[in-house]
Structure 1
Amino acid sequence: MKENDTKFQAKTPDFNTEAAKKIAELFSEVAPDGHIDVGALEDLLSPDLENEENNEKYEFTWRGKKEAKRIANAPTRNTTLIPVKEKSKNWDSTKNVYIEGDNLEALKLLQKAYSERIKMIYIDPPYNTGHDFVYKDNFHDSYRNYLKETGQLDEEGNANTTNKETNGRYHTDWLNMMYPRLKLGRNLLSEDGIIAVSIDEHEVANLRKIMDEIFGEINFMGQITTVNNPRGRSQDKYVATSSEYLLIYSKTVRPKGRLSVDKTAEDLGKDYQYQDEKGAYRILELRNTHRDFGKFNRPNLFYSFYVSTDGNVSLTKDNTHNIEVQPIWNDGFEGCWTWGKDKSLENLDLLVAKKNNEYWKIYRKSYADNATKQLKSSWNNKQFYTDKGQEEVSNLFNIKEKIFQAPKSVKYIKQILEMGINKDNDIILDFFSGSGTTAESVMSINKEQKTNLKYIMIQLPEKTSNDSVAYNYGYKTITDVAEERIRRAGEKIQKEHSNANIDTGFKVFKLQKSTIKQWDDNPEMFQQQLEMIHSPFTQESTNDQRALEIAIKEGIDLSTSPIVQENNYHFVTDTKEVFVILGNYSENLLDALDKERKLANATVVLKEMDSGSETKFNLIEKLKQEPGLNDHFVLEWL
């Protein structure tokens, strides 16, 4: 395996490809048998390769990048998610999910159920301030060995430098932490999905590079500068930093206007100052305002309107409409309209004429319905300041102290989410969810827009320090703070909108060791491994936990509650159906399940019973012999 990791594997090009054909035509000696000999081709071109510049290419790399890629593709490390109903709210009805645990493992567990289903990802990851990370992945090179190799530790293990910003892993550790998580996050995005990442000046350049690599430079949508601390950081060495950044990428290329958001009531009042029976509208000049276009190159867009003295518009001259208006500029330049004559005829009711000084102009009405605006690349809104986010959290907890440091404000996150969502049932994912601002923002949008957005929050249950405000109020972990914040925010929304049907609940899941025993290749453990056939689960796990792990690995999403009958679990989503049989069963099992089946195809997961394999054999034979069952069921054995 190690050799495969380091050896370059040159795959022979398909002879049917145009590139291979052209190489063979130019250099027949490198394709004697119809396949390109890459080594022979390199030898042939060696004079051209001697110049080192010919071998250079643009590449962004760092120590550990290869391992970071491997970790992103590696399976979970014997982990699962278990339900924590006592910390949840409205378990049986809610579609929102809160996960306590390392986001790397959690993201891997979500891959099958949520692949290409997440419409919007927002994350506010740890900024690289030079301190140690809580997120430490299993990289081969140990930190202390690296320090010794690079001369940053002496033989006795003492540091040769105290400045973490000058050590070789200042950026490396952060990049190794972020890369696999972004890679896994991309897998979950829908084809039209969008990801937005908050970051400060320390790593914005590097984050842009790895996101270009993971999402594609062509899918970069924008970089927004947000003022979050107008006073500036006084401890900064040269410039008092008062802003941070937001990087936005899509999974695939999106059309122009994809990030536009609905105009606010203030925007509408300012921009849409006219009113008729159809509602508020603004007027836009019909003449093309660019002099690059005119009668000289758009003759079909040069024609006459006829207007009345009260501004009514017609394409036909009569006694009432007797004032001719053409798209001619004040200096005599013959311009053109933005609509052709046929379109103008179809939409005459949208056209109005107004006299400006001695000249008449034609305008079209643009109504406020579904009015959107394109956001700018710099945001300076008091509602987006960190102080505002701090105030919101403190108010929810009815305290003046800072129970959580530097939370984002709800209005800021709402603006970000509104750029990404476009359907009623979209799912939003935040896998560095901190104090839970994203969850509150989703509920707030649902309240205001009468939508049914759902969220998945993931947060490491990092312990609060013993001298912190949170700890003194009884919150021992960050997840304790966040879950209480979400609970209080939901109660506030319900109190303010008692008649609204808003999902303010959430299901809590905790990352834990797998409930399924792991196979051990050690020959001395062979007898114990055989016992796993009839007893595949860990002794301390419950059937609820076992069924959930199986369902997750079969692709059932976490918001789905099973129908439970004794020790059998029935999971159904819009696209997938799974029966988990943890109790005893007979060869008539499939006949019984067929009566409960909701979809055309269902998977049945079951273990062998202690009584032997006869029942298993009979079930398999029954499936083979009865097309009515064989067409609808797949059996999987633990």
Structure 2
Amino acid sequence: MDNKLSGESTDLTKRNLERLKELFPEVLTDGDKIDFDQLKTVLGEAVEDKSERYQFTWHGKKQTILGAQKPSKGTLRPDPEKSKGFDSTENLYIEGDNLEVLKLLQKSYNGKIKMIYIDPPYNTGKDFVYKDNFRDGVQNYLEQTRQIDAEGNRLTTNTESNGRFHTDWLNMMYARLKLARNVLTDDGVIFISIDDSEQEKLKMICNEIFGEGNFIAQIIWERSFAPINLKKHFSESHDFILCYAKDRNQLICNGLPQTEELLARYKNPDHDPRGPWQSDNFSVGPAIEEKRYEITTPGGRKIYPPDGRCWLLTKERYQEFLADNRIWFGEDGNNVPRVKRFLSEVKSTVTPMTIWKHEEVGHSQSASQALKKLFNEKSYFTYPKPVDLIKRLLMLYTNSDSIVLDFFSGSATTAHAVMQLNAEDGGNRKFIMVQLPELLDEKSEAYKDGYRTICDIGEERIRRAGEKIKQESAGIDPESLDIGFKVLRLSSSNIREWNTDFENIEDELDLFESPFMDERSELDIVYEIMLKHGLELTYPIEVFEVNGKNVYDIAFGNLFICLSDHIDTRVAQSIIDKRNEYGIETSSVVLSDAGFGGNDSEKLNCMELLKDAGYPEDNLLTI
């Protein structure tokens, strides 16, 4: 037995082949080769086999799809010093290229994210667009964070003079949305902010990735309310927020709470024991003959429905409503009849409209002012989104324990909104923020104040917002609020990659005295193993010692890791004892291969001891 831990993220192509094999085993031949003729036969008329068909394509689309499915060789390294409440928080802030990060999250968070909100570059000609390199994504990311390309040239914004202005943006978005869909729960939803620059193209790629049938709405948000008179034709005052479900049939909208204004409309002038009510029109159109009849008011007035209309109910049902005191003729009993709608019987929430006014959810200027106030009147971000805007999205589609992802985190408004809503309704929503650590301009106010990257500002915003929310929270135990976050940084793998350069074989063998990269901590390696095992990165990690050797206990015995030197059967027995304390049948064990110091006999004894204790061979790995 020698199960080696893979140094790559989930292979999406392999996973897709496995799913296809489960559905149609007859279409695979010669191992993992697909017989497309056989697949067409199985699918019958569902296959489009004509050269002329409707499709949306552009240069590089195929490479983008293949690149998105290519496994990442990177990892996420924990940074306890930059974190807040590292050991207890269930929130994540990840510094890195979101394409590589999404690849790395595929296994740990597949089908676990209830809501995604992103505010990507709008492609206005001034936006920094990610230049993806599918050959080595992590190296590409490291180059981008220095703001230079592989040849040392400075990276520039995606200007309109670029011959592939729209193409570059589409390739960037398509790959990321393709991966984002995988991490959504079956009843999950994604919201994407955009303006007119790429709105129609974004909708087309979303229709392709999520399916036209899963389009929910295109919200119009009034981001400004004062006209800009310098504009030649129109002064744009809105942005769009596209909304798609992973599966529309499973998506549930929570609705919005009734406003004080709406509740104030319910009164009880006749002291009805059923409580407050408001009256509604009793006539409807068009006219139906059986619902056109004479009604005599308590005051003796005889009334017919207006021309072209009829009463809401048949005569028989009207008599039932009348007997049940559900018809209102006004205080003097002589008005046109109206039906009583009781507050206790109506929906407790309101279905949202698709136009969101700035009075309801804020606007760009109010968001800028609020963020400026949080940073002691320092202005670090232009045009951040209002907290109330994101909070409304959260209210509509998240549950109290949902995980929320934003992989274009920017100023971290989404994290702020999650903490704010938790403080208001007692929820325990968790956030995952992902942001490329773009270097700040040395002339900027933020740089002069000691910040070096956008991530530095975003993390500080979460710290300040969390403390402010905690101080202002009412009716909820402040200690129950999770206002912390665990910082992780995208990096190359902690595990050395074997280089089959036989001219330097002696140097390679010297390097492989340890399989781990230099200057990497045990905690770095533990987090990489968690990723490869598909464990959430906020699961608790405990450490216990066995004769001076650290054994990491992840998620209450779900996974045990020992990376120390001189591993022996005492380590294996301690792992078995700890598992038995938890009362679980089995778990997984990862041991450092170098930790046995070449003692194959001791390694075999450890593995046999674990197998005798009920560990399946597939659950025992070395690294």
Same fold at TM > 0.5:
yes
In structure 1, distance between residues paired with 2:441 and 2:40: 64
- Output the TM-score relative to the length of structure 2: 0.78
Within a 5 Å distance, the mapping from 1:109-188 to structure 2 comes to: 109-131=104-126, 133-138=128-133, 164-165=159-160, 167-188=162-183
| More displaced stretch, 562-571 vs 281-290 | 281-290
Tell me, in whole angstroms, the C-alpha distance in 1 between the residues paired with 2:391 and 2:252.
18
Distance 2:620 2:314 in 1: 63
Larger Rg: 1
What corresponds to 2:563 in structure 1? 582
- Of the three residues 364, 368, 374, the one matched with 1:390 is 368
Shift of 1:279: 9.0
SS of the residue corresponding to residue 135 of structure 1 reads coil
Aligned to 1:467: 443
Aligned with 1:376: secondary structure? coil
- Supply the distance in 2 between the matched residues of 1:424 and 1:516 (Cα, whole angstroms): 38
Contact persistence 1:600–1:632 (CA under 8 A): no
Per-residue deviation at 1:108? 1.3
Is residue 585–residue 614 contact of structure 2 (8 Å, CA) maintained in 1? no
Q: Distance in 2 between matches of 1:553 and 1:255?
A: 30
CA deviation profile, 1:252-282 (whole Å, cap 9, x unmatched): 014797262222334433x434498999744
Q: Name the CA distance, whole Å, in 2 between partners of 1:243 and 1:129.
A: 15
State the alpha-carbon separation in 2 of the partners of residues 167 and 564 from structure 1: 53
Give the direction of change, closer, same or farther, for the CA distance of 1:405–1:285 in structure 2 (3 Å limit): closer
Q: Quick one: distance in 2 between partners of 1:415 and 1:221?
A: 16
Which amino acid counterpart does residue 512 of structure 1 have in structure 2? S
Higher RCO, Cα 8 Å, sep 6+: 2
**Cross-structure match for 1:629:** 614
- Counterpart residue number, 1:445: 421
Q: Percent identity?
A: 37
Q: What residue in structure 2 maps to residue 19 of structure 1? A: 44
1:536 Cα deviation from its structure 2 partner: 1.5
1:513 aligns with 2:513: no
* C-alpha separation in 2, matches of 1:380 and 1:496: 26
Q: How many residues align?
A: 550
C-alpha distance in structure 2 between counterparts of 1:181 and 1:338, whole Å = 56
- Counterpart of 2:328 (choices 329, 346, 354) is 354
Q: Which runs of 5+ in 1 are unaligned?
A: 1-7, 24-37, 43-53, 141-161, 297-301, 311-322
- The alignment status of 1:92 with 2:71, answered yes or no, reads no
Identify the residue that residue 414 of structure 1 maps to in structure 2. 391
* Conserved? CA contact 1:414–1:441, under 8 Å: yes
CA distance, structure 2, for counterparts of residue 335 and residue 541 of structure 1: 77
- Do the aligned partners of residues 266 and 586 (structure 1) sit closer, same or farther apart at CA in structure 2, a change above 3 Å counting? farther
Aligned CA distance change for structure 1 residues 120 and 163 (closer, same or farther; 3 Å): closer
- Give the superposition deviation at 1:284: 6.2
Instruction: Report the Cα offset of residue 236 of structure 1.
Output: 4.8
Counterpart residue identity of residue 67, structure 1: Q
Distance 1:368 1:531, change over 3 A: farther
Displacement, 1:87?
Answer: 1.3
8 Å Cα contact 1:257-1:374 kept in structure 2:
no
Q: 2:587 is matched by which residue type in structure 1?
A: A
* 1:471 partner SS: helix
Question: Which residue pairs with 2:543 in the alignment?
Answer: 564
SS of the counterpart of 1:490? helix
The Cα offsets for residues 164-190 of structure 1, whole Å up to 9 and x where unpaired, read as 435431101111111111111111110
Q: Which residue of 1 aligns with 2:18?
A: none
The one-letter code matched in structure 2 to 1:502 is L
- Give the Å deviation of 1:460: 0.9
- After superposition, the Cα gap between the structure-2 partners of 1:563 and 1:131, relative to the gap in structure 1 and judged at 3 Å, is same
Letter of the 1:587 partner, please give it: T
2:391, 2:421 within 8 Å by CA — same for their partners in 1?
yes
Quick check: 1:504 aligned with 2:480?
Answer: no
The structure-2 alpha-carbon separation of the partners of 1:362 and 1:69, relative to structure 1 and needing over 3 Å to count, comes to: same
The aligned residue for residue 486 of structure 1 is 462
Q: Which residue matches 2:516? A: 537
Q: Give, as a single letter, the amino acid of the residue that structure 1 aligns with 2:590.
A: V
Distance 2:538 2:336 in 1: 63
Matched, 1:55 2:51: yes
Which TM-score applies when normalising by structure 1?
0.77
For the residues of structure 1 that align with 2:622 and 2:213, how far apart are their CA atoms? 45
CA distance in 1, matches of 2:371, 2:243: 26
Matched, 1:366 2:340: no
Q: Which amino acid aligns with 1:569?
A: Y
- The Cα shift of 1:219 comes to 0.4
- How far apart are the structure 2 equivalents of 1:470 and 1:591? 54
Residue aligning to 1:495: 471
- Report the 3-state secondary structure (helix = DSSP H, G, I; strand = E; otherwise coil) of the residue aligned with 1:87: coil
Is 1:104 equivalent to 2:99 in the alignment? yes
Task: Measure how far apart 1:587 and its partner are.
Answer: 2.9
Contact 2:287/2:309 (8 A) holds in 1: no
Distance, in Å, in 2 between the alignment partners of 1:612 and 1:531 is 18
Separation in 2, partners of 1:448, 1:109: 33
Matched residue type, 1:354: W
Q: Which amino acid aligns with 1:249?
A: Y
Pairwise CA distance, 1:57: 1.0
Match of 1:272 in 2: 266
Question: Aligned Cα RMSD in Å?
Answer: 3.9
CA contact (8 A) 2:79 2:488 kept: yes
The 1:235/1:81 distance shift into structure 2, 3 A limit, reads farther
Opposite residue 210 of structure 2, the aligned amino acid is: F
Which amino acid is the alignment partner of residue 13 of structure 1? Q
**Which residue among 66, 77, 102 is the counterpart of 1:82?**
77
Structure 2 residue aligned with 1:607: 592
- Asked whether the 8 Å contact 2:385–2:413 carries over to 1, the reply is yes
Separation in 1 of the partners of 2:100 and 2:109?
Answer: 14
* Residue 551 (structure 1) aligns with: 530
Query: Is residue 605 of structure 2 the alignment partner of residue 618 of structure 1?
Result: yes
Between the aligned partners of 1:171 and 1:505, the Cα distance in structure 2 is: 38
CA positional deviation for 1:294: 7.8
Contact 2:115–2:403, Cα closer than 8 Å, also in 1: yes
Query: Per-residue deviation at 1:456?
Result: 0.7
The reply on whether 1:240 has 2:217 as its aligned counterpart is: no
Q: Is the 8 A contact 2:363 2:386 kept in 1?
A: yes
Distance 1:70 1:478, change over 3 A: same
CA distance in 2, matches of 1:622, 1:196: 51
Contact residue 439 and residue 486 of structure 1 kept, 8 A: yes
Deviations 1:172-226 (A, max 9, x none): 1111111111111111110110100000110001100111111111000011111
> Tell me, what secondary structure is at the counterpart of 2:36?
coil
Q: Distance in 1 between matches of 2:591 and 2:433?
A: 31
Cα offsets for 1:341-388 (capped at 9, x unmatched): 8xx89xx98x63311535545434233887211222222214521001
Matched, 1:225 2:203: no
Residue in 1 that maps onto 2:20: none
Q: How do 1:193-212 residues align onto structure 2 when only pairs under 5 Å count?
A: 193-212=188-207
Contact 1:118 1:428 in 2 (8 A): yes
| Secondary structure, counterpart of 1:55 in structure 2 | coil
Distance 1:607 1:194, change over 3 A: same
- Tell me: CA distance 1:239–1:336, structure 2 relative to 1, closer, same or farther (3 Å): closer
